[in-house]
């Protein structure tokens, strides 16, 4: 097939859909260092993780040996409702940019949660149901994860309480309604419903816009104090999440093979790492086993630059310091990003797997981009490709465009793959600000970074 006869959208058939998730840890040269129990500073064991997560997910969290883990039939059935997601050849964007590059994106937004988050939500809810739990607790930033887990819990008849970062809660009331439609209870965080919430409200009376770190603390507190009826569920950062999200990359690789393509460059936005980790999965497998060497770029917002400005150290996963410590790139668990419109990228840390891969050079580059540049790319993309992208996804669009323009300059016909993680239907207040010129960039001051990094425990 000529490279320009590739269809606009490449779908797998149902029986080509992955039957197993890919566990990158089985192939990592240096595994990431283990989670530590915050009380003992010893590696967290299964029973400690089980206090927080459902048992199967706790096991997956610790699994560093099985290359592939079977996807349960009920999860595969649910996947079939909205997967396989299309791999799209961005012909119209290529034309707009007048680039010799061939641009592909894996579009994960064609489901009501609006993003890739459903891939892990349905798995976590399934295992919770199997275990006989009453329900789950979680946090949400942009609202995509909360919506996804609401859908998943609604499907399996589980209760769900969502702590939603307050600035998102206020900017996106419709997200709350959407979660309620699927039966979830949604609480703005920081809240007075938890000890940690009350403590943070008292400590930072002037900054109640919240953060993912705080919302995590609240959701974990509710789960661990429920006498085992509820467990906590997290939409990013964790090994289990990257495992479930590997469907993105597995499908992408099969779809690209169908049209005889392989990416030279892979671009993914990175907040906690769920999308980037999922997108690169089988490509990273190739890289770790020496079969191929795609150039991988992690894109983050200047306002929350964990990879580009953070340090690689053990730190708490939450602001309230109730979770295990993870070895990761972190800005410090007390870091409070300026209100930013890419709510899904406002996390102080980064997936330990992604952190280790970046530290070891398997993720080739991290790039921080400004919010106005991101929205400029988003609007360009929307007008020619017909999809209104989420601000998070638009970070990847921005860098994919930059790389395609470099190809224009050099004349190279590189193959670029990026992850279009979701849609921006609930982010139109931010688009409105961009269109009327009131959207600003908010990189953190060096002093603020130094201060929050000063909080990182010395381990």
Q: Which residues are at the interface with a copy of itself (CB under 8 A)?
A: 7-9, 11, 13-14, 77-78, 80-82, 88, 91-92, 110-112, 114, 118, 151, 154-155, 174, 177-178, 180-183, 379, 382-388, 423, 425-426, 428-429, 431-432, 435
> Looking at beta carbons only, is 109 or 210 nearer to a copy of itself?
109
Q: How far is the CB of 149 from a copy of itself (least distance, A)?
A: 13
Cβ count near 82 (within 10 Å): 17
Q: How far is the CB of 342 from a copy of itself (least distance, A)?
A: 17
> Looking at beta carbons only, is 151 or 336 nearer to a copy of itself?
151
CA distance 177 to 99: 42
Q: How far is the CB of 154 from a copy of itself (least distance, A)?
A: 5
CA distance 178 to 286: 39
Degrees, nearest 5: CA angle 142-75-419: 45
> Looking at beta carbons only, is 235 or 294 nearer to a copy of itself?
235
> Looking at beta carbons only, is 60 or 144 nearer to a copy of itself?
144
The residue among 128, 1, 18, 122 whose CA lies nearest residue 69 is 18
- 3-state DSSP helix/strand/coil % of the chain, to nearest 5: 45, 15, 40
Q: How far is the CB of 315 from a copy of itself (least distance, A)?
A: 36
Burial of 341 (0-12, 13-18, 19+ CB in 10 A): buried
> Looking at beta carbons only, is 127 or 155 nearer to a copy of itself?
155
Question: Is the separation of the CB atoms in 18 and 71 below 8 Å?
Answer: yes
Q: How far is CA 191 from CA 111, 169, 217, 218, in A?
A: 30, 12, 11, 8
In the β-sheet with 135-140, what is the strand arrangement from edge to edge?
185-189, 159-165, 135-140, 230-232
CA distance 390 to 110: 12
CA distance 5 to 264: 19
> Looking at beta carbons only, is 262 or 429 nearer to a copy of itself?
429
Burial of 321 (0-12, 13-18, 19+ CB in 10 A): middle
> Looking at beta carbons only, is 25 or 398 nearer to a copy of itself?
398
Q: How far is the CB of 440 from a copy of itself (least distance, A)?
A: 18
> Looking at beta carbons only, is 58 or 151 nearer to a copy of itself?
151
Q: How far is the CB of 159 from a copy of itself (least distance, A)?
A: 14
Q: How far is the CB of 346 from a copy of itself (least distance, A)?
A: 21
Q: How far is the CB of 435 from a copy of itself (least distance, A)?
A: 6
> Looking at beta carbons only, is 181 or 293 nearer to a copy of itself?
181
420 beta partners: 107
Q: How far is CA 29 from CA 24, 157, 198, 290, in A?
A: 10, 41, 43, 12
- For every residue of 213-256, DSSP letters joined together read HHHHHHHHHHHHTTTTSEEE--SSSSHHHHHHHHHHHHHHHHHH
Q: How far is the CB of 213 from a copy of itself (least distance, A)?
A: 28
């Amino acid at each position: 097939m000529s490279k320009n006869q590739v269809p606009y959208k490449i779908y797998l058939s149902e029986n080509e859909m992955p039957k197993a998730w890919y566990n990158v840890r089985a192939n990592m040269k240096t595994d990431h260092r283990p989670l530590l129990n915050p009380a003992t500073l010893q590696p967290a064991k299964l029973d400690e993780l089980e206090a927080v997560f459902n048992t199967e997910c706790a096991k997956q969290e610790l699994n560093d040996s099985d290359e592939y883990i079977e996807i349960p039939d009920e999860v595969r059935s649910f996947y079939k409702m909205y997967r396989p997601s299309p791999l799209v050849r961005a012909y119209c964007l290529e034309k707009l940019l007048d680039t010799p590059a061939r641009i592909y994106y894996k579009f994960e937004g064609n489901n009501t949660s609006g993003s890739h988050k459903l891939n892990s939500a349905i798995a976590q809810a399934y295992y919770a149901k199997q275990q006989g739990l009453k329900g789950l607790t979680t946090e949400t930033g942009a609202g995509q994860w909360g919506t996804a887990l609401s859908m998943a819990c609604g499907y399996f008849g589980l209760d769900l309480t969502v702590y939603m970062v307050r600035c998102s809660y206020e900017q996106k009331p419709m997200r709350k309604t959407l979660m309620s439609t699927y039966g979830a209870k949604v609480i703005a965080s920081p809240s007075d419903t938890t000890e940690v919430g009350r403590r943070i409200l008292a400590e930072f009376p002037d900054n109640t816009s919240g953060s993912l770190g705080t919302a995590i603390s609240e959701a974990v507190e509710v789960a661990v104090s429920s006498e085992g009826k509820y467990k906590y569920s997290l939409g990013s950062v964790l090994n289990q999440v990257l495992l479930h999200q590997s469907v993105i990359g597995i499908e992408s690789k099969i779809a690209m093979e169908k049209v005889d393509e392989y990416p030279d460059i892979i671009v993914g936005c990175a907040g906690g790492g769920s999308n980037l980790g999922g997108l690169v999965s089988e490509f990273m497998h190739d890289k770790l086993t020496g079969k191929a060497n795609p150039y991988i770029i992690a894109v983050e917002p200047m306002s929350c630059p964990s990879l580009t400005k953070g340090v690689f150290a053990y730190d708490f996963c939450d602001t309230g310091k109730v979770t295990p410590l993870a070895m990761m790139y972190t800005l410090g668990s007390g870091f409070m990003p300026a209100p930013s419109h890419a709510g899904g990228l406002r996390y102080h840390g980064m997936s330990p797997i992604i952190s280790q891969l970046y530290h070891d050079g398997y993720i080739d580059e991290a790039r921080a981009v400004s919010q106005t540049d991101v929205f400029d790319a988003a609007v360009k993309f929307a007008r020619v490709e017909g999809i209104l992208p989420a601000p998070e996804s638009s970070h990847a669009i921005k860098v994919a465009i930059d790389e395609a323009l470099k190809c224009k300059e050099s004349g190279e016909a590189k193959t670029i793959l990026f992850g279009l993680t979701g849609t921006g239907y609930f982010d139109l207040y931010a688009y409105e600000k961009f269109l009327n010129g009131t959207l600003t960039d908010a990189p953190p001051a060096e002093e603020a970074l130094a201060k929050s990094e000063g909080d990182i425990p010395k381990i």
